[in-house]
Chain A
Amino acid sequence: TQLLEQSPQFLSIQEGENLTVYCNSSSVFSSLQWYRQEPGEGPVLLVTVVTGGEVKKLKRLTFQFGDARKDSSLHITAAQPGDTGLYLCAGGSGGSYIPTFGRGTSLIVHP
């Protein structure tokens, strides 16, 4: 069974601070997705990483896929209150059509 562990589970920071959240597994994934979910809404896809060592940037968000494709990180620079939400990572491998979701990191950015 593939498992994705996300850390930290909760994060409460002030506007302007930087932060990193992690998504780790003992399994290899063919691709990994990051989603952001705002209160009362469904998860929204942010990015997909596919290649080991890949780095993708989305404005102030930087996503990295580990060289061995077992882990990923999301770094947010100069966090803003609009970044508040639940950040989910999800991964899949060739053995299944069902992605595995992590439990999420709940981020609150205070103005």
Chain B
Amino acid sequence: GAGVSQSPRYKVTKRGQDVALRCDPISGHVSLYWYRQALGQGPEFLTYFNYEAQQDKSGLPNDRFSAERPEGSISTLTIQRTEQRDSAMYRCASSLHHRSLTSGVSYEQYFGPGTRLTVT
């Protein structure tokens, strides 16, 4: 079946421009996470959604970063007024289950191929 897809795979933009990164999760996956990953390092959490609700955005670096998932499926991460320090690999991941904290949480995640953002 289809995995997690992200678009574009590569984005080069000039400083000051806005960019929108798209994530299409596995069909039926309730949870969707956004990460930023430096080369050779583990993913750094940005934000996550259960269905269309943004549950935690504590990892977003500043208010230039925002994310939405209006219909509980596709998500968009938007970076306004990009700066060179925003250059990174942005990944999203989806997870099948969203369970209550009392019955257990599925932490298994399925990652997309990422969007390599370069701000010049």
A contact set with B: CB distance below 8 Å: 30-31, 33, 35, 40-45, 48, 86, 88, 90-92, 94-95, 97-99, 101-104, 106
Cβ–Cβ < 8 Å partners of B109 in chain A: 33, 43, 45, 90, 99
A88 with B42: in contact, given A42-B111, A43-B111, A99-B107 (CB under 8 Å)?
A: yes
B42-79 vs A: 1/0 string, CB under 8 Å?
11110010100001100000000000000000000000
B100-120 vs A: 1/0 string, CB under 8 Å?
011011011111111000000
Check if A104 sits within 8 Å of B41, measured CB to CB: yes
Cβ–Cβ < 8 Å partners of B45 in chain A: 98, 101
**Count of CB-CB pairs between chains A and B under 8 Å:** 64
B contact set with A: CB distance below 8 Å: 4, 31, 33, 40-45, 48, 50, 55-56, 91, 93, 98, 101-102, 104-105, 107-114
Q: How far is the CA of A35 from the CA of B43 in the complex (A)?
A: 11
Interchain nearest-CB distance for A106 vs B (Å): 6
Check if B112 sits within 8 Å of A92, measured CB to CB: no
A104 with B48: in contact, given A41-B113, A91-B107, A97-B55 (CB under 8 Å)?
A: no
Closest B residue to A90 by CB, please name it. Answer: B107
